[in-house]
Amino acid sequence: MASRADNIASSLSFANFSKATELKQRIWFTIGALIVFRFLSFVPLPGVNPAALSDLYDQTRGGILDMFNMFSGGSLERMSLIALGVMPYITASIVVQMAASLHPSLLALKKEGEAGRKKLNQYTRYGAVLLCAIQGWFLASGLEAYAAQSGLPAVVEPGIMFRIVAVINLVGGTMFLLWLGEQITSRGIGNGVSLIIMAGIVAQFPTFTANLFEGGRTGSISGVVIGGFLVMLVGLILAICFMERAQRRLLIQYPKRATQRGGMQADRSHLPLKLNTAGVIPPIFASSLLLLPLTITQFAGNSIDTTTTSGAFVQSLNQYLAHGQPLYMALYAAGIIFFSFFYTAVVFNPEDTAENLKKQGGFIPGIRPGKRTAEYLDYVLTRITVIGAIYLTLVCVIPEWGIAQTGIPLFLGGTSLLIVVNVTVDTISQIQSHLLAHQYGDLIKKAKLKGRMR
């Protein structure tokens, strides 16, 4: 018979939300922090001309800057204090994770537990500051150079002082966002950095929706295309929700132990392996590498001589790597598949997992502990990663193909859909966990009251 606690867990709902005071405070704090983030995205850098930035940015669309602008909620387009967003921190954390899996000293530091994790987080922050400084300098220099070529006065007073001030402000803006993300994680609900990225993506949704239906009203976009796009969007969201929660659960058996009644009992548990272990990293890496040449040539502008062999090659490369072109789609899919396997190998080590199971006395039924277990884990992980890589490829390539065929502006691509759905599901799961803990707390209080009455 199910216990009262099991009944509470099975009948969990949001009806008792009004009673969870702490949860409401956490949600209000999270909303307030995200509002602060949105306000900062409209504060321009000192020394820039906001009126000329929109025209300047329109001439560089289609490159890697579009992806960074999407993740920053349009801050890069407005050249605000948080124009770089949290992408330098994400890049630094990925680099540190890869280095921790390859470098012996960092690998030993990773195995030290909480102290080693704090040290790696410190290295990640140092790397984020360095990346912010480098990207801020090149962004300020490119803004001056491109403005001079196009004749748009985006910078009021170009020079070394503008670059230094821009770097200081951009580094400070990114560090403030990281601090804000930490506050959301500790005092709010959900993962702070992920919520900031999701808020930046969702903030552009009203503009995208208005443009979509305005196109339908004027006749530039047919109603059939809008309906098909919405159906595709709903289908992709359902597929992402299903696949991101899909797991391959391996049975783990532990040795029998004596119970209080004199019998023997064997403990069992499961080792969950996600189908998509790599998360959203593969499409971000693949799109960044493909869009980098286009971005560089866009900033080079008129300095490229198309009459020369190298200039003609660069021009042809930009044409073949444009959004929706067959070469771009093929390389994008190949890059997603490659980084799916590469990053999965970085974040999950079968040998370490097998060694930890052996130390704890656990084993997979029918598989010998140690080397055979590691080989079996690698066998299973490789095969489920094939499914995960195919799923990521379809989710990211289908929107790109649809956008290329219909001409709808790039907004809800596969990467942004993955981020929004994953963060939403994770946040809802945390809210449910808080509600469950609140109901269990009420159950414990009632049990104590009954015990005192006896």
Read off the pLDDT of residues 7-37 as tens digits, 9 standing for 90 and up.
444 444 555 666 777 888 888 999 999 999 9
446 versus 216: the higher-pLDDT residue is 216
Out of 178-182, 225-229, 368-372, 375-379, least confident range = 225-229
Q: What pLDDT sits at residue 35?
A: 92
> Is there a domain that residue 153 lies in?
yes
pLDDT at 3: 42
**Cβ-proximal residues to 95 (8 Å cutoff; 6+ apart), any chain:** 127
229 and 198, same structural domain? no
CB neighbours of residue 56 within 10 Å: 19
Q: Are 254 and 269 in contact (CB under 8 A)?
A: yes
393 and 306, same domain (yes or no) = yes
Q: What's the chain's Rg over C-alpha atoms?
A: 26
Given pLDDT bands bounded at 50, 70 and 90, which one contains residue 425? confident
Looking at the fold, whether 288 and 187 belong to one and the same domain comes out as no
Give the Cα separation of 250 and 383 in Å (integer). 14
292: left (phi over 0), alpha (psi -120 to 50) or beta: alpha
C-alpha–C-alpha distance, residues 298 and 193, integer Å: 30
User: 104 and 235: one domain?
Assistant: no
Same domain? For 193 and 237 the reply is no
Q: Distance between CA atoms of 286 and 191, rounded to whole angstroms? A: 24
Q: Is 424's pLDDT higher than 80?
A: yes
How many CA atoms lie within 13 Å of 354's alpha carbon, on the beta-carbon side?
17
Most confident of 177-181, 326-330, 438-442: 177-181
Residues 383 and 434 in one domain: yes
User: Both 181 and 241 in a single domain?
Assistant: no
Sign of CA dihedral 106, 111, 112, 117: positive
Domain interval for residue 337: 221-256+265-453
Q: Does 215 fall in a domain?
A: no
Give the best-scoring range by mean pLDDT among 163-167, 215-219, 347-351. 163-167
pLDDT in tens, 54-112: 666 666 555 556 666 676 767 777 788 888 888 888 888 888 877 877 777 877 777 77
CATH number at residue 62: 1.10.3370.10
172 pLDDT band (50/70/90 cuts)? very high
Could you give the CA distance from residue 409 to residue 214 in angstroms, rounded to a whole number? Answer: 13
- The average confidence (pLDDT) of the chain is 78
| Burial track 79-97 (b if 16+ CB lie within 10 A, e otherwise) | bbbbbbbbbbbbbbbbebb
Q: Which residues contact 127 (CB under 8 A, 6 or more apart)?
A: 91, 92, 95, 96
Is residue 171 over pLDDT 80? yes
Chain mean position to CA 292: 19
Average pLDDT of the residues in 40-50: 82
Q: Are 45 and 97 in contact (CB under 8 A)?
A: no
Inside any domain, residue 350? yes
Q: What are the structure tokens assigned to 421, written together?
A: 């759905």
Number of folded domains in the chain?
A: 2
Burial track 395-431 (b if 16+ CB lie within 10 A, e otherwise): bbbbbbebbbebebebbbbbbbbbbbbbbbebbeebb
Cα 363 to Cα 154, 249, 371, 382: the distances in Å are 64, 14, 12, 20
- Domain check: are 159 and 237 in the same one? no
Mean pLDDT over residues 266-273, rounded? Answer: 79
For 251, the enclosing helix (H) or strand (E) is strand 247-258
In this structure, is residue 289 part of a structural domain? yes
Query: Which amino acid does the sequence have at 321?
Result: L
290 domain residue, yes or no? yes
Q: What is the DSSP string of 376-404?
A: HHHHHHHHHHHHHHHHHHHHHHHHHHHHH
Residues 194 and 289 in one domain: no
Q: Which amino acid is at 282?
A: P
Does one domain contain both 226 and 364? yes
Question: Could you tell me if residue 139 is inside a domain?
Answer: yes
**What integer is the mean pLDDT of 219-237?**
81
Query: Cβ-count burial of 174 within 10 angstroms (0-12 exposed, 13-18 middle, 19+ buried)?
Result: buried
Express as a percent the part of the chain with pLDDT over 90.
7
The answer to whether the beta carbons of residues 236 and 398 sit under 8 Å apart is: yes
Per the structure block, which two tokens stand in for 87?
A: 């992408």
Mean pLDDT of the 412-440 span: 79
- Average pLDDT on 48-58 reads 70
In single-letter form, the type of residue at position 406 comes to T
Does 454 have pLDDT greater than 60? no
The answer on 164 and 48 residing in a single domain is: yes
| Rounded-to-integer distance, Cα 6 and Cα 440, Å | 10
- Is position 212 within any domain? no
For residue 389, pLDDT over 70 is answered with: yes
pLDDT > 70: what percent of the chain? 75
Residue 14: predicted pLDDT: 54
| 296-341: pLDDT as tens digits | 665 555 455 556 676 676 667 767 776 667 888 888 889 889 988 9
- Lowest mean pLDDT: which of 62-76, 195-209, 390-404? 62-76
Q: Is 159 inside any structural domain?
A: yes
- Residue keyed to tokens 């980098």: 292
> Which pTM was predicted?
0.78
Task: Name the token pair of 384.
Answer: 């489920």
Do 195 and 237 lie in one domain? The reply is: no
pLDDT at 387: 92
